[in-house]
A = this chain, B = another copy of it.
Amino acid sequence: MCHACQVSTLQSPSSSATSRAAAQLPAVCILGLGLIGGSMMRDLRNLGVECFGWNRSAATVEEATAEGFDASSDLRAVLERAEATGALIVVGTPVTAFEAMLEAINKYAPACGITDVISVKEVPQRTAEAMGVAERYVGAHPMAGSALAGWSATREGLFDGAPWVLAYDTAAEATAAGQPVPERWTEVFSQVALLGKALGSQLIPARVANHDEAVARISHMPHLVAYALAAAGEAGGPLAISLAAGSFRDGTRVAAAAPSMVMSWCESNTGAVLGALDDVIERLTSAHKQLAKENTATDLAESGNTARVRYEARPANRPIFRLRVGEGDWVSQLLLAESVGGQVDIF
Protein backbone atom coordinates (compact mmCIF):
# COMPACT_ATOMS: atom_id res chain seq x y z
CA MET A 1 0.00 0.00 0.00
CA CYS A 2 1.30 3.41 -0.92
CA HIS A 3 0.46 5.49 2.12
CA ALA A 4 0.55 8.72 0.18
CA CYS A 5 -1.93 7.81 -2.53
CA GLN A 6 -3.77 4.95 -0.80
CA VAL A 7 -3.34 2.73 -3.85
CA SER A 8 -2.57 -0.92 -3.34
CA THR A 9 0.68 -1.95 -4.95
CA LEU A 10 0.27 -5.57 -3.93
CA GLN A 11 -0.12 -6.71 -7.53
CA SER A 12 3.01 -5.00 -8.78
CA PRO A 13 5.85 -7.45 -8.83
CA SER A 14 8.69 -6.44 -6.60
CA SER A 15 11.51 -4.67 -8.38
CA SER A 16 13.75 -7.63 -7.60
CA ALA A 17 11.37 -9.94 -9.49
CA THR A 18 11.38 -7.67 -12.55
CA SER A 19 15.16 -7.34 -12.33
CA ARG A 20 15.60 -11.11 -12.17
CA ALA A 21 13.32 -11.48 -15.22
CA ALA A 22 15.25 -8.77 -17.05
CA ALA A 23 18.55 -10.49 -16.29
CA GLN A 24 17.34 -13.59 -18.12
CA LEU A 25 16.34 -11.71 -21.28
CA PRO A 26 18.36 -11.74 -24.49
CA ALA A 27 18.87 -8.44 -26.31
CA VAL A 28 15.56 -6.95 -27.49
CA CYS A 29 15.07 -5.51 -30.97
CA ILE A 30 11.97 -3.34 -31.38
CA LEU A 31 10.50 -2.61 -34.81
CA GLY A 32 8.30 0.46 -34.56
CA LEU A 33 8.95 3.01 -31.83
CA GLY A 34 5.43 4.27 -31.21
CA LEU A 35 3.66 4.44 -27.87
CA ILE A 36 4.13 0.74 -27.11
CA GLY A 37 7.53 0.10 -28.71
CA GLY A 38 9.04 3.36 -27.51
CA SER A 39 7.76 3.00 -23.95
CA MET A 40 9.16 -0.53 -23.88
CA MET A 41 12.55 0.81 -24.92
CA ARG A 42 12.54 3.28 -22.02
CA ASP A 43 11.83 0.58 -19.44
CA LEU A 44 14.29 -1.92 -20.90
CA ARG A 45 17.11 0.64 -20.79
CA ASN A 46 16.32 1.30 -17.13
CA LEU A 47 16.42 -2.45 -16.51
CA GLY A 48 19.86 -2.73 -18.12
CA VAL A 49 18.65 -4.85 -21.04
CA GLU A 50 20.45 -4.36 -24.35
CA CYS A 51 17.80 -2.80 -26.54
CA PHE A 52 17.83 -1.29 -30.01
CA GLY A 53 15.14 -0.41 -32.47
CA TRP A 54 14.00 0.61 -35.89
CA ASN A 55 11.45 3.12 -37.04
CA ARG A 56 10.41 3.99 -40.57
CA SER A 57 10.19 7.70 -39.87
CA ALA A 58 13.52 9.52 -39.58
CA ALA A 59 11.90 12.08 -37.28
CA THR A 60 11.09 9.44 -34.66
CA VAL A 61 14.59 7.99 -34.95
CA GLU A 62 16.03 11.46 -34.35
CA GLU A 63 13.84 12.04 -31.31
CA ALA A 64 14.83 8.68 -29.81
CA THR A 65 18.50 9.15 -30.63
CA ALA A 66 18.48 12.62 -29.11
CA GLU A 67 17.45 10.98 -25.84
CA GLY A 68 20.36 8.55 -26.14
CA PHE A 69 18.37 5.58 -27.38
CA ASP A 70 19.81 3.13 -29.91
CA ALA A 71 17.49 3.72 -32.87
CA SER A 72 17.92 3.55 -36.62
CA SER A 73 15.84 3.75 -39.79
CA ASP A 74 17.96 1.10 -41.54
CA LEU A 75 15.77 -2.01 -41.20
CA ARG A 76 18.31 -4.41 -42.70
CA ALA A 77 21.13 -3.28 -40.41
CA VAL A 78 18.91 -3.46 -37.35
CA LEU A 79 17.74 -7.00 -38.21
CA GLU A 80 21.26 -8.20 -38.99
CA ARG A 81 22.30 -6.93 -35.58
CA ALA A 82 19.33 -8.79 -34.03
CA GLU A 83 20.45 -11.98 -35.73
CA ALA A 84 24.07 -11.50 -34.65
CA THR A 85 23.12 -10.89 -30.99
CA GLY A 86 20.35 -13.54 -30.82
CA ALA A 87 17.82 -10.83 -29.93
CA LEU A 88 14.10 -11.26 -29.36
CA ILE A 89 12.31 -9.20 -32.02
CA VAL A 90 9.25 -7.22 -30.93
CA VAL A 91 7.09 -6.07 -33.85
CA GLY A 92 5.55 -2.82 -32.65
CA THR A 93 4.04 -1.70 -35.96
CA PRO A 94 0.34 -1.64 -36.84
CA VAL A 95 -1.18 -4.92 -38.05
CA THR A 96 -1.10 -3.68 -41.65
CA ALA A 97 2.73 -3.71 -41.65
CA PHE A 98 3.08 -7.08 -39.91
CA GLU A 99 3.50 -9.22 -43.02
CA ALA A 100 6.16 -6.89 -44.44
CA MET A 101 8.03 -7.04 -41.14
CA LEU A 102 8.00 -10.85 -41.14
CA GLU A 103 9.28 -10.85 -44.69
CA ALA A 104 12.26 -8.71 -43.68
CA ILE A 105 12.83 -10.80 -40.55
CA ASN A 106 12.85 -14.00 -42.63
CA LYS A 107 15.50 -12.42 -44.84
CA TYR A 108 17.82 -10.80 -42.30
CA ALA A 109 17.08 -12.42 -38.93
CA PRO A 110 16.04 -15.99 -39.75
CA ALA A 111 16.86 -17.41 -36.30
CA CYS A 112 15.44 -14.77 -33.93
CA GLY A 113 12.39 -15.28 -31.75
CA ILE A 114 9.50 -12.98 -32.69
CA THR A 115 6.61 -11.40 -30.83
CA ASP A 116 4.24 -8.53 -31.56
CA VAL A 117 2.05 -6.12 -29.62
CA ILE A 118 -0.96 -5.98 -31.96
CA SER A 119 -4.42 -5.52 -30.34
CA VAL A 120 -5.86 -8.56 -32.12
CA LYS A 121 -4.22 -11.97 -32.14
CA GLU A 122 -5.75 -14.26 -34.74
CA VAL A 123 -4.71 -12.33 -37.85
CA PRO A 124 -1.04 -12.05 -36.72
CA GLN A 125 -1.04 -15.76 -35.80
CA ARG A 126 -2.35 -16.78 -39.24
CA THR A 127 0.10 -14.40 -40.90
CA ALA A 128 3.00 -15.92 -38.93
CA GLU A 129 1.88 -19.40 -39.99
CA ALA A 130 1.56 -18.35 -43.63
CA MET A 131 5.04 -16.79 -43.51
CA GLY A 132 6.51 -19.97 -42.04
CA VAL A 133 7.64 -18.43 -38.72
CA ALA A 134 5.02 -20.00 -36.41
CA GLU A 135 7.61 -22.08 -34.56
CA ARG A 136 9.53 -19.00 -33.41
CA TYR A 137 6.58 -16.64 -33.00
CA VAL A 138 4.56 -16.02 -29.81
CA GLY A 139 1.90 -13.31 -30.10
CA ALA A 140 1.42 -10.88 -27.24
CA HIS A 141 -0.99 -8.05 -26.43
CA PRO A 142 0.18 -5.61 -23.78
CA MET A 143 -3.09 -3.86 -22.87
CA ALA A 144 -1.58 -0.51 -22.10
CA GLY A 145 -2.56 1.52 -25.12
CA SER A 146 -4.25 4.87 -25.08
CA ALA A 147 -5.56 7.41 -27.50
CA LEU A 148 -2.06 8.90 -27.70
CA ALA A 149 0.43 7.81 -30.31
CA GLY A 150 4.02 8.33 -31.42
CA TRP A 151 7.34 8.83 -29.66
CA SER A 152 6.15 11.92 -27.79
CA ALA A 153 3.55 9.77 -26.04
CA THR A 154 6.06 7.19 -24.78
CA ARG A 155 6.71 6.98 -21.07
CA GLU A 156 8.31 4.85 -18.39
CA GLY A 157 6.17 2.39 -16.45
CA LEU A 158 3.47 2.12 -19.12
CA PHE A 159 3.18 -1.66 -18.70
CA ASP A 160 3.37 -1.79 -14.92
CA GLY A 161 0.40 -3.77 -13.64
CA ALA A 162 -1.24 -3.95 -17.07
CA PRO A 163 -2.46 -7.21 -18.64
CA TRP A 164 0.08 -8.80 -21.01
CA VAL A 165 -1.79 -11.41 -23.03
CA LEU A 166 0.28 -14.38 -24.23
CA ALA A 167 -1.08 -16.43 -27.16
CA TYR A 168 -0.23 -20.12 -26.73
CA ASP A 169 -2.25 -21.94 -29.40
CA THR A 170 0.89 -23.71 -30.65
CA ALA A 171 1.41 -25.35 -27.24
CA ALA A 172 -2.29 -26.08 -26.71
CA GLU A 173 -2.70 -27.67 -30.12
CA ALA A 174 0.44 -29.82 -29.83
CA THR A 175 -0.62 -31.02 -26.37
CA ALA A 176 -4.18 -31.74 -27.54
CA ALA A 177 -2.74 -33.82 -30.38
CA GLY A 178 -0.52 -35.72 -27.96
CA GLN A 179 2.60 -34.12 -29.47
CA PRO A 180 5.39 -32.43 -27.55
CA VAL A 181 5.43 -28.64 -27.72
CA PRO A 182 8.13 -27.59 -30.19
CA GLU A 183 11.31 -26.73 -28.26
CA ARG A 184 12.12 -23.56 -30.15
CA TRP A 185 8.59 -22.24 -29.63
CA THR A 186 8.87 -22.99 -25.91
CA GLU A 187 12.10 -20.97 -25.76
CA VAL A 188 10.46 -18.00 -27.46
CA PHE A 189 7.40 -18.27 -25.19
CA SER A 190 9.74 -18.12 -22.23
CA GLN A 191 11.44 -14.98 -23.60
CA VAL A 192 8.13 -13.20 -24.32
CA ALA A 193 6.80 -14.08 -20.87
CA LEU A 194 10.03 -12.84 -19.25
CA LEU A 195 9.72 -9.61 -21.23
CA GLY A 196 6.21 -9.01 -19.86
CA LYS A 197 7.34 -9.90 -16.36
CA ALA A 198 10.38 -7.62 -16.57
CA LEU A 199 8.07 -4.75 -17.53
CA GLY A 200 5.86 -5.43 -14.49
CA SER A 201 2.83 -6.71 -16.41
CA GLN A 202 0.41 -9.47 -15.45
CA LEU A 203 0.82 -12.43 -17.83
CA ILE A 204 -2.56 -13.66 -19.07
CA PRO A 205 -2.59 -16.72 -21.32
CA ALA A 206 -5.27 -16.81 -24.04
CA ARG A 207 -5.69 -18.64 -27.31
CA VAL A 208 -6.05 -16.27 -30.24
CA ALA A 209 -9.74 -16.86 -31.02
CA ASN A 210 -10.71 -16.50 -27.36
CA HIS A 211 -8.64 -13.33 -27.03
CA ASP A 212 -10.23 -11.78 -30.10
CA GLU A 213 -13.73 -12.76 -28.99
CA ALA A 214 -13.06 -11.24 -25.55
CA VAL A 215 -11.68 -7.93 -26.82
CA ALA A 216 -14.54 -7.66 -29.33
CA ARG A 217 -16.93 -7.73 -26.38
CA ILE A 218 -15.09 -5.61 -23.83
CA SER A 219 -13.19 -3.15 -26.01
CA HIS A 220 -14.30 -3.02 -29.63
CA MET A 221 -18.01 -3.15 -28.78
CA PRO A 222 -17.88 -0.35 -26.16
CA HIS A 223 -16.23 1.82 -28.81
CA LEU A 224 -18.82 1.08 -31.52
CA VAL A 225 -21.69 1.52 -29.06
CA ALA A 226 -20.22 4.84 -27.86
CA TYR A 227 -20.15 6.04 -31.47
CA ALA A 228 -23.83 5.04 -31.92
CA LEU A 229 -24.88 6.71 -28.64
CA ALA A 230 -23.03 9.92 -29.47
CA ALA A 231 -24.55 10.13 -32.96
CA ALA A 232 -28.06 9.34 -31.68
CA GLY A 233 -27.66 11.98 -28.96
CA GLU A 234 -26.59 14.62 -31.43
CA ALA A 235 -29.55 13.72 -33.62
CA GLY A 236 -31.70 14.91 -30.69
CA GLY A 237 -30.60 18.47 -31.41
CA PRO A 238 -29.37 21.31 -29.16
CA LEU A 239 -31.90 20.70 -26.35
CA ALA A 240 -30.75 17.07 -26.00
CA ILE A 241 -27.08 18.05 -25.92
CA SER A 242 -27.85 20.84 -23.42
CA LEU A 243 -29.54 18.35 -21.08
CA ALA A 244 -26.85 15.65 -21.48
CA ALA A 245 -25.33 14.76 -18.12
CA GLY A 246 -23.22 12.00 -16.59
CA SER A 247 -24.74 8.98 -18.30
CA PHE A 248 -24.24 10.49 -21.76
CA ARG A 249 -20.79 11.85 -20.95
CA ASP A 250 -19.46 8.49 -19.70
CA GLY A 251 -21.35 6.38 -22.21
CA THR A 252 -19.80 8.29 -25.13
CA ARG A 253 -16.33 8.96 -23.66
CA VAL A 254 -14.47 6.55 -25.97
CA ALA A 255 -16.27 7.94 -29.03
CA ALA A 256 -13.48 10.51 -28.81
CA ALA A 257 -11.06 7.76 -29.95
CA ALA A 258 -9.80 8.15 -33.51
CA PRO A 259 -11.96 6.20 -35.99
CA SER A 260 -8.78 5.02 -37.74
CA MET A 261 -7.52 3.35 -34.55
CA VAL A 262 -10.83 1.69 -33.70
CA MET A 263 -11.26 0.56 -37.31
CA SER A 264 -7.77 -0.98 -37.32
CA TRP A 265 -9.00 -3.26 -34.52
CA CYS A 266 -12.41 -4.05 -35.99
CA GLU A 267 -11.13 -4.64 -39.52
CA SER A 268 -8.68 -7.25 -38.19
CA ASN A 269 -11.34 -8.88 -36.05
CA THR A 270 -14.45 -8.87 -38.21
CA GLY A 271 -15.77 -12.30 -37.21
CA ALA A 272 -15.75 -11.64 -33.49
CA VAL A 273 -16.93 -8.03 -33.87
CA LEU A 274 -19.86 -9.10 -36.07
CA GLY A 275 -20.79 -11.72 -33.48
CA ALA A 276 -20.62 -9.25 -30.60
CA LEU A 277 -22.61 -6.69 -32.62
CA ASP A 278 -25.25 -9.35 -33.28
CA ASP A 279 -25.43 -10.00 -29.54
CA VAL A 280 -25.81 -6.32 -28.57
CA ILE A 281 -28.34 -5.64 -31.36
CA GLU A 282 -30.34 -8.71 -30.30
CA ARG A 283 -30.45 -7.54 -26.67
CA LEU A 284 -31.61 -4.05 -27.67
CA THR A 285 -34.16 -5.48 -30.12
CA SER A 286 -35.59 -7.76 -27.41
CA ALA A 287 -35.85 -4.75 -25.10
CA HIS A 288 -37.65 -2.84 -27.87
CA LYS A 289 -40.11 -5.71 -28.31
CA GLN A 290 -40.76 -6.06 -24.60
CA LEU A 291 -41.22 -2.32 -24.15
CA ALA A 292 -43.66 -2.15 -27.08
CA LYS A 293 -45.63 -5.19 -25.93
CA GLU A 294 -45.43 -5.21 -22.13
CA ASN A 295 -44.59 -1.54 -21.49
CA THR A 296 -41.34 -2.46 -19.73
CA ALA A 297 -37.78 -3.51 -20.66
CA THR A 298 -37.06 -5.09 -17.34
CA ASP A 299 -35.46 -8.26 -18.77
CA LEU A 300 -32.61 -6.26 -20.29
CA ALA A 301 -32.35 -4.01 -17.22
CA GLU A 302 -32.13 -6.93 -14.81
CA SER A 303 -29.60 -8.92 -16.83
CA GLY A 304 -27.42 -5.88 -17.47
CA ASN A 305 -27.59 -4.71 -13.87
CA THR A 306 -26.67 -8.19 -12.60
CA ALA A 307 -23.73 -8.34 -15.02
CA ARG A 308 -22.43 -4.94 -13.91
CA VAL A 309 -22.83 -5.78 -10.23
CA ARG A 310 -20.89 -9.04 -10.75
CA TYR A 311 -18.22 -7.15 -12.68
CA GLU A 312 -17.82 -4.68 -9.81
CA ALA A 313 -17.66 -7.58 -7.35
CA ARG A 314 -14.93 -9.46 -9.23
CA PRO A 315 -11.83 -10.25 -7.16
CA ALA A 316 -9.40 -7.33 -6.96
CA ASN A 317 -6.52 -9.60 -7.94
CA ARG A 318 -6.51 -12.12 -10.77
CA PRO A 319 -5.78 -15.65 -9.51
CA ILE A 320 -2.12 -16.59 -10.06
CA PHE A 321 -1.02 -19.91 -11.55
CA ARG A 322 2.69 -20.61 -11.09
CA LEU A 323 4.54 -22.68 -13.64
CA ARG A 324 7.96 -23.49 -15.01
CA VAL A 325 7.87 -23.02 -18.80
CA GLY A 326 8.29 -26.34 -20.63
CA GLU A 327 8.07 -28.47 -17.52
CA GLY A 328 5.42 -30.84 -16.18
CA ASP A 329 1.80 -29.88 -16.79
CA TRP A 330 2.62 -26.31 -17.72
CA VAL A 331 0.26 -26.29 -20.72
CA SER A 332 -2.61 -27.49 -18.48
CA GLN A 333 -1.81 -24.60 -16.17
CA LEU A 334 -2.09 -22.18 -19.11
CA LEU A 335 -5.47 -23.67 -20.07
CA LEU A 336 -6.67 -23.49 -16.48
CA ALA A 337 -5.55 -19.88 -16.06
CA GLU A 338 -7.25 -18.89 -19.34
CA SER A 339 -10.51 -20.55 -18.30
CA VAL A 340 -10.81 -18.27 -15.26
CA GLY A 341 -9.16 -15.18 -16.77
CA GLY A 342 -6.22 -15.75 -14.43
CA GLN A 343 -2.57 -14.77 -14.69
CA VAL A 344 0.52 -16.94 -14.68
CA ASP A 345 3.80 -16.38 -12.95
CA ILE A 346 6.85 -18.04 -14.41
CA PHE A 347 9.90 -19.08 -12.47
Contact = CB atoms under 8 A, between A and B. Distances in A.
B283 A231 contact: yes
A24 interface: no
A250 B253 contact: yes
Contacts of A266: 291, 296-297
A133 B80 CA distance: 86
Contact of A301 (B227, B242, B250, B296): B227
A314 B243 CA distance: 12
A311 B244 contact: yes
Interface in A242-290: 242-248, 250-259, 262-263, 266-267, 270, 273-274, 276-281, 283-285, 287-288
A297 B226 CA distance: 13
Contacts of A234: 307, 310-311
Contacts of A303: 227, 231
B311 A291 contact: no
Contact of A342 (B224, B242, B304): B242
A146 to B, nearest CB: 9
Interface string A204-221: 101000110111011101
Given A305-B258, A342-B242, A236 B253 contact: no
Contact of A251 (B211, B251, B296, B307): B251
A228 B280 contact: yes
A157 interface: no
B247 A218 contact: yes
Given A259-B305, A308-B256, A210 B225 contact: no
A151 B204 CA distance: 46
Contact of A341 (B239, B252, B254): B239
A233 interface: yes
A297 B224 contact: yes
B219 A255 contact: no
Contacts of A242: 163, 204, 318, 340-342
26 contacts: A143-B245, A163-B243, A204-B239, A204-B242, A204-B243, A217-B236, A218-B245, A219-B247, A221-B229, A221-B233, A222-B252, A225-B284, A227-B301, A227-B307, A231-B300, A231-B303, A231-B307, A232-B280, A243-B341, A247-B253, A251-B254, A252-B311, A256-B308, A262-B301, A270-B291, A280-B284
Given A234-B311, A250-B254, A263-B296, 10 more contacts: A217-B233, A222-B250, A223-B247, A225-B229, A226-B247, A238-B340, A241-B311, A251-B254, A258-B305, A281-B288
